[in-house]
C-alpha cells in the first residue's frame, strides 16, 4: 500500500515541548559528516526496526539515511524509544546494533523502565519487589538504577514454595531468600513482561494488600503498597503472525483480580512507558544530551519525528507530546490510519518514514 497522508497538513511540525534551547547553528561538523540539528527522530523498536529476532528489511537503510546517507548529506540525531525492557540500555543497544549491523550506543536507548531510575531517589534504601523478565535480570537492572534493596517473586517462592504451589522453582534460578513476613515491601515495580502471569498475579496482590507490606496471614481490605507499572502495551509484535500479549495484558488481569478480591475497589498505580508524558520528557532529555554531546549550542525549533507501529502507544504518545507521528504497517497496525489515534503520516515501513522525514527537512532547509 502506498504511503498516505493522514491529516490535512503534511508539515505538522509543532514546536517541541522541550527544555532544549539552542540559539543558532543548525549544522556542525563531526568526524567528516555534518549534523542537521533542526530535527530528531525517535524509533520504536518492535514492529518498526525488528520483529522478535528478525530484522525488518528496511531498518538498516533507514538508520544509514540518518547517519548521513541522504540528500541533506547530514546526520540527524536519533534515539530508540521502546516499551520493551528487561535488559539494560547497554544490552539493548548491543542487541539492536548486532541485529542491524550498525552502531547504536546505550545513550540512544530508552526502555520502558528507563525513567523509573528517578524513583531511586525515594526508594533507594527501601525494600522493593521488582516483577518481570527471567531470573534476577530485572533485579540487576534495578540495582544498576540505584535501588539497593530489591526482591523478586522467585525470592518469595524460595521462601514459601506453597505461595504458588503449581510450579517448582528451578534450582538454577538465582534467589535471595529472606523472611518476607519480617521484611516489609515499600513498593512494587513491574519492570517487564511477567514470565509467569499466574504466580505474579498471586504474589503482587498478596503484597499490595498486606499489612504494612509484610507477607503474613493477615490481609487488609485496601491497597497498602504503591504500584509502579512500566509498559501498558496490551499487545506487541514479534515473529508470530498475530500480535502477542504485552505487559498491559498483565495489568488488565491484575486490575480485574484486584477488583474481584476487594469487592470492586480500584487499583492505584503510576504508569511509565509510551504513551505517557513521563516517557516523552525522558526521551527529550536523552535527545538534548545527544545533541549537546555533538554541539555546544543547541536548536531552538527542533522537530521530533516519532516512527511507531502501535497507535495506542507510539502515535497517541507522540501526538500528545507535540511530536510528528508516523505510523508504519510492519507491526501491530495494518490499514489506512487509526481512527482513535490518527498518525500524521502513515507509510508502509521505516524506510519510507525516514525518506519522508528527509524530504520534509530538505524542503525546509532549501526553501
Ligand atoms: O515488549 C515490548 C513491546 O511491548 C513493545 O515494544 O519497541 O514496540 O515499543 P516496542
Ligand atoms: Mg512497536
- C-alpha to C-alpha distance for 143 and 22, rounded to whole angstroms: 35
> 3-class SS at 214?
strand
Contacts of 17 (CB under 8 A, 6+ apart): 284, 321, 322
For residue 46, the CA-to-ligand 1 centroid distance in Å is: 5
Domains 4-112+275-366 and 114-272 share a fold: yes
> Domain 4-112+275-366 is classified in which CATH homologous superfamily?
HAD superfamily/HAD-like (3.40.50.1000)
List ligand 1's pocket residues with C-beta within 6 A: 44-47, 82-84, 193, 231, 233, 236, 246, 310
| 3-state secondary structure labels for all residues of 256-322 | HHHHHHCCCCCCCCEECCCCCHHHHHHHHHHHHHHHHHHCCCCCCCCEEEEEECCHHHHHHHHHHHC
Q: Determine the distance separating the centroid of ligand 2 and the alpha carbon of 51, expressed in angstroms.
A: 9
pTM confidence score: 0.90
User: Is residue 258 within 8 Å of 267, Cβ to Cβ?
Assistant: yes
Placement of cell 481490605 in the chain: 221
The minimum-distance atom of ligand 1 relative to the CA of 235 is 4
141 alpha carbon – ligand 1 mean position (Å):
18
Q: Please list the pLDDT of the chain residue by residue as tens digits (367 residues).
A: 434 333 323 222 233 333 333 333 334 434 457 888 789 999 999 999 999 999 999 999 999 999 999 999 999 999 999 999 999 999 999 999 999 999 999 999 999 999 999 999 999 999 999 999 999 999 999 999 999 999 999 999 999 999 999 989 998 999 998 999 999 999 999 999 999 999 999 999 999 999 999 999 888 889 999 999 999 999 988 889 999 999 999 999 999 999 999 999 999 999 999 999 999 999 999 998 988 887 655 554 579 999 999 999 999 999 999 999 999 999 999 999 999 999 999 999 999 999 999 999 999 878 7
Q: How far is the CA of 174 from the centre of ligand 2 (A)?
A: 31
**What residues does 36 pair with on adjacent strands?**
27
- Which of 230, 310, 327 is the pocket-test mutation for ligand 1 (most atoms within 8 Å of CB)? 310
Which of 147, 74, 142, 155 shows the shortest CA–CA distance to 113?
Answer: 142
One of 2.40.10.340, 3.40.50.1000, 3.30.390.10, 2.60.120.380 is the CATH number of 114-272, namely: 3.40.50.1000
| Residue-range domain boundaries for the chain | 4-112+275-366, 114-272
DSSP, res 329: S
Looking at ligand 1, which residue's alpha carbon is closest to its atom 2? 84
Amino acid at each position: 500500500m502506498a504511503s498516505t497522508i493522514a491529516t490535512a497538513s503534511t508539515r505538522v511540525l509543532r514546536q517541541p515541548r522541550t527544555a532544549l534551547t539552542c540559539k543558532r547553528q543548525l549544522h556542525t561538523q563531526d568526524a567528516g559528516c555534518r549534523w542537521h540539528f533542526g530535527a530528531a527522530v525517535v524509533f520504536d523498536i518492535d514492529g518498526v526496526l525488528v520483529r522478535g529476532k528478525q530484522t525488518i528489511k528496511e531498518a538498516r537503510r533507514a538508520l544509514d539515511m540518518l547517519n548521513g546517507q541522504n540528500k541533506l548529506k547530514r546526520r540527524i540525531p536519533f534515539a530508540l524509544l521502546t516499551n520493551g525492557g528487561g535488559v539494560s540500555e547497554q544490552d539493548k543497544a548491543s542487541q539492536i546494533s548486532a541485529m542491524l549491523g550498525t552502531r547504536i550506543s546505550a545513550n540512544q536507548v530508552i526502555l520502558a523502565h528507563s525513567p523509573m531510575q528517578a524513583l531511586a531517589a525515594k526508594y533507594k534504601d527501601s525494600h522493593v519487589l521488582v516483577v518481570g523478565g527471567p531470573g534476577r535480570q530485572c533485579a540487576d537492572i534495578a540495582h544498576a538504577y540505584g535501588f539497593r534493596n530489591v526482591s523478586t517473586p522467585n525470592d518469595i517462592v524460595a521462601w514459601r514454595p506453597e505461595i504458588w504451589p503449581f510450579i517448582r522453582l528451578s534450582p538454577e534460578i538465582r534467589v535471595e531468600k529472606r523472611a518476607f513476613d519480617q521484611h516489609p515491601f515499600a513498593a512494587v515495580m513491574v519492570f517487564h513482561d511477567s514470565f509467569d502471569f499466574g504466580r505474579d498475579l498471586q504474589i503482587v496482590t498478596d503484597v499490595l494488600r498486606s499489612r504494612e507490606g509484610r507477607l503474613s496471614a493477615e490481609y487488609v481490605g485496601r491497597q497498602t503498597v504503591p504500584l509502579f507499572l512500566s509498559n501498558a502495551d496490551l499487545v506487541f509484535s514479534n515473529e508470530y503472525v498475530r500480535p502477542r500479549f504485552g505487559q498491559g495484558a498483565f495489568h488488565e488481569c491484575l486490575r480485574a483480580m484486584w477488583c474481584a478480591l476487594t469487592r470492586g475497589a480500584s487499583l492505584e498505580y503510576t504508569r511509565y512507558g509510551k504513551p505517557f508524558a513521563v516517557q516523552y520528557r525522558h526521551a527529550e532529555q536523552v535527545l538534548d544530551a545527544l545533541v549537546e554531546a555533538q554541539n555546544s549550542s543547541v536548536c531552538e525549533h527542533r522537530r521530533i519525528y516519532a516512527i511507531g507501529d502501535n497507535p495506542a502507544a507510539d502515535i497517541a504518545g507522540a501526538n500528545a507530546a507535540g511530536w510528528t507521528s508516523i505510523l508504519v504497517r510492519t507491526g501491530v497496525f495494518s490499514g489506512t490510519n487509526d481512527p482513535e489515534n490518527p498518525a500524521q503520516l502513515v507509510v508502509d515501513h521505516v524506510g519510507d518514514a525516514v525518506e519522508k522525514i528527509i524530504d520534509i527537512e530538505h524542503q525546509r532547509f532549501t526553501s
